[in-house]
Structure 1
Amino acid sequence: MCTVTFLPKGKSSYILTSNRDETPKRAALAPEAYTAHGKEVFFPKDPLAGGTWVATDKQQFTLCLLNGAFEKHHHKPPYKLSRGIMLLDFFKYNNIQSFVEQYDFSGIEPFTLILIESNNSLSATELVWDEMKLYVRSLDVTQPQIWSSSTLYPEAVRAERKHWFKLWLEAHDKFQQNEIIDFHKTGGKGDEWNDFVMNREGKVQTVSVTSIEKNTDYYTMVYEDLIS
C-alpha cells in the first residue's frame, strides 16, 4: 500500500502498479474475483480485515490505496472502519462524485486513494483524507505519476523516489508492464529502509507487487508475493 505508479498508454489505457509494505505476518490472499456490493471485483484480500489496497472491476474502475495523507500522522485507534473496506465500499456507488459527496469518511484513519476511470476515455482522481477534511484532486492522465506513503517515507525520501522514477521514465519511451514491475522490484540505491523493495528489520517490508494493465480490449492483473 505504499509505493504506487501510474503510466498512461493512450486514450483509455494505462498501467497501475503497487508495492505493499506491511508486516510479513499480515499475509494477503492472491487476487480472486469477489462480489462487492453486487459487482464482480478483482483484488488481493487482506484476511485480517477482509479489505484490500488495490481492486478493479475490469469494466470501468481501478482503485489503489496508500496509508496516510500528506504527512505522517499519529495512530489513534480504535477506528470506525478499515481503509481497505472503505475502498471496497466505493463499489456501492455509480460514480466518483457520488462517493465523494455521500460517503462518511469520519472515523477512518488517514489515507490517499487513487481512482482511475476508463471507459471511452481515461480520467483519474486523487482523494486524500487527513481525519478532518477530504481533499479531491483531478490528475493529469497524460503524465506518469508516483506516490509513496507518508507514513513510511518523509518528504525528502518521497522526493528522492520521484527522482528515481524520473530517471526510469527517461530511459523508457514505451511502457511495458513487465518493465515497470521490474522497476518496482529494483528501484533504489541499496538502502533497505527506503528502496522500492524495502525491509526494516523484518518488522515492515515489501510483501508483494501488484500490477494492473488496461488496454482497449483486455485487463491484465499480475500479483507477485515476495514473501512466499
Structure 2
Amino acid sequence: MCTVTYVSPAPGQFILTSNRDEAPSRGATRLVVEEKEGKRLIFPQDPAAGGTWIAVASNQRMVCLLNGAFEAHNRQTPYRLSRGIMVLESFAYANANAFFQRYDFNGIEPFTLILYDYGALWELRWDGREKFIRALDPRGTHIWSSATLYPADVRFRREQWFARWIENLSAFSVGAMLDFHLHAGDGDTWNDVVMNRGDIVRTVSITSLEKTESNLNFRYFDLLTANEQKAQMELTREEVESN
C-alpha cells in the first residue's frame, strides 16, 4: 500500500485521501473511535495486527503510513514491531519533532509517514537504517505512491495524472479528490489509482480525511463490501484558535 494525496482548500484546512492496496484478506473491518494517550482518535483498524495506516486525533494531528521508503526493499523478518502499531504510538508524543527524535525505529520495516501537526506538514522516511525528515508546504498539493508496489517510472506517471487533475479543478473538495482516487489512471489495472493485481493485491478501501476550521471529518469506504463508515470529531476552541 498505498496511494495518498493531500490538498489544502484554505489556510489551516486540508483534505487527505488514501487508497489502501493490500491482500483482500487484510481489509479493515471497522472504523474505531477511542481515547488513547489522552486524546480522542479515529482510525480504521487492521484486523491482522490491530494497528492502522491512517489516524487522526483531537489535537489536530494526522498520521498516514505508506509501506517502503524510497525503493522496494527485501523483507528481513521477523520485525520488532508492526508499522501500524507505530502509527498509534506516535500520538503519545507531544509533537512531530519529539516523535522523530525519541521514537525507536530500529527493527521496523521501511516506511514513509505523512504527519500533519498543528498546521505543519511533515514527511518521514525510514529505510531500515536511517531517518529522512522533510518539512512540506501545508498549503501545497502532494501525492505519494508506495515504493514497495510502484517503481519510480510508475510513481512519476501518477504524479503527472495528479498534476493534470489539479489543473482542471476549480476548487478542492472531498468529492473531487474521491473522484481522482476512484477513476485516475490510463487503463492499466496493475497501476491505476484503483488497482488490482489478480486479486492478490488490490485497492481494498479509500479513506478521506477532511480538516475544516472546526471539525475533522473521516470517511472510510470499503471497496470489497461497498460499505461506507463516517465519523466526525469537533475541535475544541483552543485547538481552533491555534491554527
Same fold (TM over 0.5): yes
The yes-or-no answer on 1:13 pairing with 2:13 is yes
Q: Give the match for residue 186 of structure 1.
A: 183
Q: Report the alpha carbon displacement of residue 117 of structure 1 after superposing the two structures with TM.
A: 1.8
The yes-or-no answer on 1:176 pairing with 2:202 is no
Q: Alpha-carbon deviations, 1:129-185, whole Å to 9, x = none?
A: 000101100001121000000000000000000000001000013101011011101
Instruction: For 2:216 and 2:163, locate their aligned partners in 1 and report how far apart those are by CA, in whole Å.
Output: 26
Q: Report the alpha carbon displacement of residue 34 of structure 1 after superposing the two structures with TM.
A: 2.0
Q: Alpha-carbon deviations, 1:92-123, whole Å to 9, x = none?
A: 111111111110000000000000123xxx21
Q: Give the match for residue 137 of structure 2.
A: 140
Q: Give the match for residue 64 of structure 2.
A: 64
SS in 2 for 1:41: strand
Gaps of 5+ in 2: 226-243
SS in 2 for 1:87: helix
Q: What does 1:20-99 correspond to in 2, within 5 Å?
A: 20-99=20-99
Contact 2:9/2:173 (<8 A) preserved: no
Q: What does 1:107-186 correspond to in 2, within 5 Å?
A: 107-118=107-118, 122-186=119-183
Q: Give the match for residue 205 of structure 1.
A: 202
Deviates more, 1:31-40 or 1:215-224: 31-40
- Return the letter of the residue paired with 1:140: D
Q: Report the alpha carbon displacement of residue 59 of structure 1 after superposing the two structures with TM.
A: 3.0
Instruction: For 1:45 and 1:140, locate their aligned partners in 2 and report how far apart those are by CA, in whole Å.
Output: 29
Contact 2:39/2:58 (<8 A) preserved: no
Instruction: For 1:40 and 1:29, locate their aligned partners in 2 and report how far apart those are by CA, in whole Å.
Output: 20
Gaps of 5+ in 1: none
Size of the aligned set, in residue pairs, is 225
Q: Report the alpha carbon displacement of residue 35 of structure 1 after superposing the two structures with TM.
A: 2.7
SS in 2 for 1:47: coil
Q: Report the alpha carbon displacement of residue 30 of structure 1 after superposing the two structures with TM.
A: 2.5
RMSD (CA atoms):
0.9
Q: Report the alpha carbon displacement of residue 75 of structure 1 after superposing the two structures with TM.
A: 1.1
Instruction: For 2:37 and 2:91, locate their aligned partners in 1 and report how far apart those are by CA, in whole Å.
Output: 6
The yes-or-no answer on 1:224 pairing with 2:221 is yes
Please report the TM-score for the alignment, with normalisation by the length of structure 2.
0.90
Instruction: For 1:30 and 1:167, locate their aligned partners in 2 and report how far apart those are by CA, in whole Å.
Output: 34
Identity of counterpart residues, as a percentage? 49
